[in-house]
Amino acid sequence: MNEPERKGRAGMDARIDQVVTSGEVTVDGTAHEMENNTYVLGDDEEVIVIDPGHDAAAVLEVVGDREVLAVICTHGHPDHVAAAFDIAERDEAPIALHPKDLLTWRETFPDDDPDIEMADGGLFGVADVQLEVIHSPGHTPGSVSLFCEELGVVFSGDALLATGPARFCGEFPDFPGQLNSVGEHLLTLPPDTQVLPGHGDQITVAAAEKKFDSWVTAGPDAPGEEDE
């Protein structure tokens, strides 16, 4: 586990701790090593965990004695949801997922469903900030991003990485749909918004906008990171 990276704004109690964990996902008999970003958003008293990733103990170490209000999964792929119940159960926190990703979710948790069905425009509050749910399908049908206007960040899951739209185990499930979501829902945010993705480094909306045409031109067969 990397040391958590802390981000905040002057005059605000809310901050973001980033935890990177690693694990293995097997698809069609092939094992894929994944490294995922988990984000812990909150203050000294309470937090929301975004994309719980692989290692509950590593995430809960960063949470400490703060109360987990909710665990939010940006989509249902196993590398993003594996530790959801282990984190949520400590404080009996609800788990949130968009209902269009239930089938994907059940590949990991066939007998237990999330508690909250997210919808576009929904809001979550923690500390002194709010998260707005942005339905951004393409990587999966129920992929969402979470925009925090007060902190100037968007948690993009696998809708958008610094390198472009994310693959899953080497493939794009819906490349045109993913590009459409990036263009319509993420690049329309304020240009200085920091994009905090499910894998790898962050990027700003302005920087992503400059790269967008090259992603379109390169298409789904362009070389890229091995999944995401």
Q: What is the CA radius of gyration of the chain?
A: 16
Higher pLDDT, 163 or 224: 163
The predicted model gives 62-71 an average pLDDT of: 98
**Residue 15, CB-side half-sphere exposure with 13 Å CA sphere:** 16
Residue 226 placed within a domain: no
Over 80: is that where the pLDDT of 32 sits? no
Per-residue tokens: 173: 């499930």
Q: Is the pLDDT of residue 57 over 90?
A: yes
User: Considering the chain, what is the average pLDDT of its residues?
Assistant: 89
Residue with tokens 């988990």: 38
Residue 223, in any domain of the structure: no
Mean pLDDT within 165-191: 87
Please name the residues in contact with 36: beta carbons below 8 A apart, sequence gap of 6 or more.
20, 21, 22, 23, 51, 53, 54, 79, 80, 198, 199
CB atoms within 10 A of CB 25: 20
Note whether residue 168 is domain-resident.
yes
> CATH number of the domain that 127 lies in?
3.60.15.10
Confidence grade of residue 27 (pLDDT, cut at 50, 70, 90):
low
Task: Render pLDDT for 107-124 as a digit per residue (tens, 0 to 9).
Answer: 999 999 999 999 999 999
Provide the sign of the torsion angle of the four alpha carbons 67, 126, 188, 152, taken in this order.
Answer: negative
- Residue 120, domain extent: 5-25+32-218
Report the number of distinct structural domains present in the chain: 1
Mean pLDDT of 200-227: 82
